[in-house]
Amino acid sequence: MSTEGRKLWALLVGILLVSGPFFPRIPLPVTALSLIMTLWIAAIILNKARQPDKLQRIGLLLLAVLIMSLSFGTLLGRDAGTGFLILLAFLKMLEINGKRDMYIVVYVDYFLIASHFFHAQSPWIAVYVFAAVIYLTSVLILFTDKASTLDTRKRLTMAGRMIFQATPLMLILFLLFPRIPGPLWGLPEDAQAAVTGLGNDMSPGSVSSLIQSEEIAFRVRFEGEIPPHADLYWRGPVFSRYDGQTWRADNTSRHIKVNLIGSESETDIIQYTVTLEPHRRNWLFALNYPTNLQGSGYRLTRELQLLNPKKINSVTRYSVTSDRKLSNYSLFESERLKNLRLPGVGYLNEKTIALARRWRTLAGDDDRRVIEEALRYFREQPFVYTLNPPLLGNNAMDDFLFETQRGFCEHYSSAFVYLARAAGIPARIVAGYQGGEKNPVDQYLIVRQSSAHAWAEVWLDDVGWVRVDPTAAVSPDRIESGIQDAIEERDQLPGILLAGDSIFLKARYHWDSFSYRWDEWVVGFNQDRQFELFRKLGFENADWQGMVIGMVILFILVGAFVGFWIFRQGEGIYQDPVKRAYDRFCYKLAKAGIGRNNTEGPSEYFSRLRGKLAPASAQTAGDIIDRYTVLRYGTAGSPAQQKHFIKRVQNFTARLK
């Protein structure tokens, strides 16, 4: 195969290497066009087809734009931009006409491989990206190997050595380069389009649909013992407005502060750190009730919902202090009315309203008795906790409470809040997660999407807002031990919840522990983590000026070390017996008055000296230089060939004309 053909094959492999993982994510027409162009390029390399002419290239470009427009509706954004760049890389391969075009393709490949981090930042992705970078660097080495002296293995080894040598500088930049709060750039709107998690509203099926997902919502490390499973209510969005089918948030103005009264016992205080996975919402999760959160910009609403200033589009780490005995006395008259409002009173859910009013009549002014009646109703009636409840009609509450009596946590919390409001008790729904699994490897809590849950809060005049979980009345196991012990449809649960004490589960815990550290110290290495690292190293008052100075000093030290190491490698050249023998050969000629200039290569040197040497000496000198060129710039040669070369030099005598 020709040198040009080897370069083109290497380029094609590079494009497929960096774009292959994108194919399952991008629409089928984009993948199909990429594969068609791949076959066309392969045919060109094999001389089975010709390069497209200008009109054909324009046609392919217009087809690519059309496919992207029909598939995405735009050429901008994370997914559309990546797909279009892949097509452009293949198009560039079809018009390669020189080394410059080859370099452009490689540089586009470098950008494409880096864009994998827009989709995921797992350790596996990092390993894959580094491997691809090594390969692309080996392709650049191939372009500069004019004599074709390096095979694929040697090029990959050289590229890996270069990346290894650059790693210390990369680590210095990663650790010391000053971090600004937030990302350096904003990701496009589709950057987290496929994220799983709780939504901005709640309707039948919105929580149960998450139960089959084993994706991690967040991890939690406690300062001290992990609280009991039944106490792990991770508070998220709060829903107060109901339209008959869907519950939505209706938060009070952010300028009105929450009214909290804390406990006096330190045993009720819980301190923990949450590492939250991206969910493309701006809420954070915390145990009841968050009183302190490290960081700036976080806000606690009147509904005790913890909000971040921006959407959580990357791994976010925050430390929280919660008070389990905190009382929330936050209820203005407008909030009371909001949390009593019911849609369609007089013509919807009449049986449910009548039941709640009957309880009110029996209880008088005792709100607690009304709540007990509602919970007793859930316990004594044949309700079933299930992932597959039947559909409900316009009278959703009547259908659920008196007909189907089968549902998931969103059905029970919704029905309970409806009953409480119908009885004159302000009530609302809180969505979030309940429970979690302990990772025994690293002693932290893993909260998966399968732990998604919804419960109720009611207002009692003497104690404020109080949590009531009607699901616990129907299925106590759900709260005490988890979803895996609460439903019959175990086949619909993630396998990780049913693994038991298997080797598979232990391996998963070890891998998750590593992933947690990766998220904590690599993906989530923000300004706070940077300062925390310096505090652990003894630099209590680290600032960005000091980090810049330290970065420059370390760059100088590492640069000096690498330079010294390269110099020592260079000294190793003189330990090469072939080079040492050649230097001896040049020394003999220099003593005869024909010294070699520093800029002269072997061939140029011989062209100058052969006119000054006697014929026999000139012939021997030519043979020595030819052998040296092969041994030094071609293959290394066998030990016997090297020994023969050294002996020829030893026997050489420079005789002038």
Domain boundaries, the chain: 3-176, 201-340+427-498, 573-651
> What are the C-alpha distances in Å from 516 to residues 223, 481, 525?
17, 24, 12
pLDDT digits (tens, 9 = 90+) for 280-290: 888 899 998 88
Would you tell me the crossing angle of helices 615-633 and 639-651 to the nearest 10 degrees? 150
Q: In this structure, which amino acid lies at residue 54?
A: K
Segment 339-363 shows an average pLDDT of 90
Segment 309-322 shows an average pLDDT of 86
Answer whether 313's CB lies under 8 Å from 280's CB.
Answer: yes
Q: In this structure, which amino acid lies at residue 322?
A: S
Answer whether 454's CB lies under 8 Å from 220's CB.
Answer: no
Segment 412-419 shows an average pLDDT of 94
pLDDT at 414: 94
Q: Kindly report which listed range (144-158, 348-362, 458-472, 495-509) carries the lowest average pLDDT score.
A: 495-509
Segment 530-540 shows an average pLDDT of 75
Look at 146 and 343; give whichever has higher pLDDT. Answer: 343
Q: Give the whole-angstrom CA distance, residue 178 versus residue 530.
A: 8
Q: Give the whole-angstrom CA distance, residue 368 versus residue 505.
A: 44
Segment 44-59 shows an average pLDDT of 89
Residue partners of 293: CB distance under 8 A and separation at least 6:
284, 286, 300, 306, 318, 319, 320, 321
Average pLDDT, the chain: 84
Q: Give the whole-angstrom CA distance, residue 161 versus residue 173.
A: 19
Q: Give the whole-angstrom CA distance, residue 596 versus residue 590.
A: 7
Q: Which among 64, 131, 133 is positioned nearest to 92, based on CA atoms?
A: 64
Ramachandran angles phi, psi of 314, nearest 5°: -150, 165
Q: In this structure, which amino acid lies at residue 378?
A: F
Longest dimension (CA), the chain: 130
Q: Which among 261, 262, 275 is positioned nearest to 222, based on CA atoms?
A: 275
pLDDT at 185: 46
Residue partners of 47: CB distance under 8 A and separation at least 6:
none
Inform me whether the pLDDT recorded for 184 exceeds 70.
no
Inform me whether the pLDDT recorded for 44 exceeds 50.
yes
Inform me whether the pLDDT recorded for 192 exceeds 50.
no
Look at 413 and 389; give whichever has higher pLDDT. Answer: 413
pLDDT digits (tens, 9 = 90+) for 119-148: 778 888 889 999 999 999 999 988 887 767
Q: Kindly report which listed range (250-254, 349-353, 364-368) carries the lowest average pLDDT score.
A: 250-254
pLDDT digits (tens, 9 = 90+) for 204-254: 888 878 877 888 999 999 998 899 988 999 999 999 999 988 999 887 777
With a pLDDT cut of 70, the percent of the chain lying above it is 89
Instruction: Find the radius of gyration of the CA atoms of the chain.
Output: 36
Segment 164-176 shows an average pLDDT of 82
Peptide bond between residue 289 and the one before it cis (omega within 30 degrees of 0)? yes
pTM for this one?
0.71
Inform me whether the pLDDT recorded for 529 exceeds 70.
yes
